[in-house]
Structure 1
Amino acid sequence: MAELKYKPVRHDHAAFLAEARQRPGFAEAYDALALEYTLAGQMLKARAKAGLTQDAVAARMGTTKSAVSRLEAAGKHAPSLATLKRYAAAVGCDLQVKLVPHKAA
């Protein structure tokens, strides 16, 4: 089965966020999901760098495209470490998790 090459759609995320932050309650809700958005962004970048579609990643993981879509949708799903490891392997990456002490106030 030939794998399709992923071609990302251009999106000015900084401009989108600047406009969205003007809406009441958006900044607080967005900031509450900062870790999830960071992880989702890293996942999308890794998949794009690997040149893979969601279908191709799903095939490598032994799952469905919709499952991969849910993984890449920040805040809607809390994947297990095992699932994140499988995703990382599918896009040619290693998964690293670390605990960082709080900064002293």
Structure 2
Amino acid sequence: MADLKYRPVPHDHEAFLAKARTRKGFSAEFESLELEYQVTRQMLKARSRAGLTQDVVAERMGTTKSAISRLESAGKHAPSLATLKRYASAVGCDLQVKLVPQKLA
């Protein structure tokens, strides 16, 4: 049987972003996807805390590893609340959504 223990891949995200910000248009596009990136970061942290691989989460959700990979890719897929609830349950979490009043400039 395959070893399904989660082993995070080392990644210096700040160095990646610093290099990416030198590309024309990157910063504006990145900022427009901030909410998606926040959700993705939370999903990845929750899966890491649970010590699960994408394979295990997929099995718990009744889907495929590639579907989980797409789900965890910010900006490429807009999951439904039902999907986010299933993901949260699969990684041992509850999903909370809140609306926050906008700050007036």
Q: Same fold (TM over 0.5)?
A: yes
Q: Distance in 1 between matches of 2:9 and 2:24?
A: 28
Matched, 1:61 2:67: no
The one-letter code sitting in structure 1 at the alignment partner of 2:8 is P
Alignment coverage as a number of residue pairs: 105
Corresponding residue for 2:38? Answer: 38
Residue pair 1:3, 1:52 contacting (<8 A) in 2 also:
no
Aligned-residue offset at 1:58:
0.3
- CA–CA separation in structure 2 for the residues paired with 1:103 and 1:2: 49
Letter in 1 for 2:71: L
Superposed CA deviations along residues 11-37 of structure 1, whole A, max 9, x for unmatched, are 110111011111110000111101001
Query: How many angstroms apart in 1 are the aligned matches of 2:9 and 2:47?
Result: 13
Q: Which amino acid aligns with 1:54?
A: Q
Post-superposition, which runs of at least 4 consecutive aligned residues in structure 1 deviate over 6 A? Answer: none
Report the residue type matching 2:93 in the other structure: C
Q: Structure 1, residues 49-79: CA drift from partner, whole Å, max 9, x if none?
A: 1110100000000111111111000011110
Answer yes or no: is the 8 Å Cα contact 1:3–1:56 preserved in 2.
no
**Cα distance, 1:3 vs. partner?**
7.3
Using the alignment, how far apart are the partners of 2:18 and 2:2 within structure 1?
40
Cα distance, 1:41 vs structure 2:
0.9
Q: Any residues of structure 2 matched to 1:1-105 within 5 Å, and which? A: 4-105=4-105
Identity %: 74
TM-score under structure 1 normalisation?
0.95
The RMSD of aligned alpha carbons is 1.4
Q: Structure 2 CA distance, aligned partners of 1:75 and 1:24? A: 18
Structure 2: gaps of 5 or more residues:
none
Stretches of structure 1 lacking an aligned partner (at least 5 in a row):
none
TM-score (norm. length: structure 2): 0.95
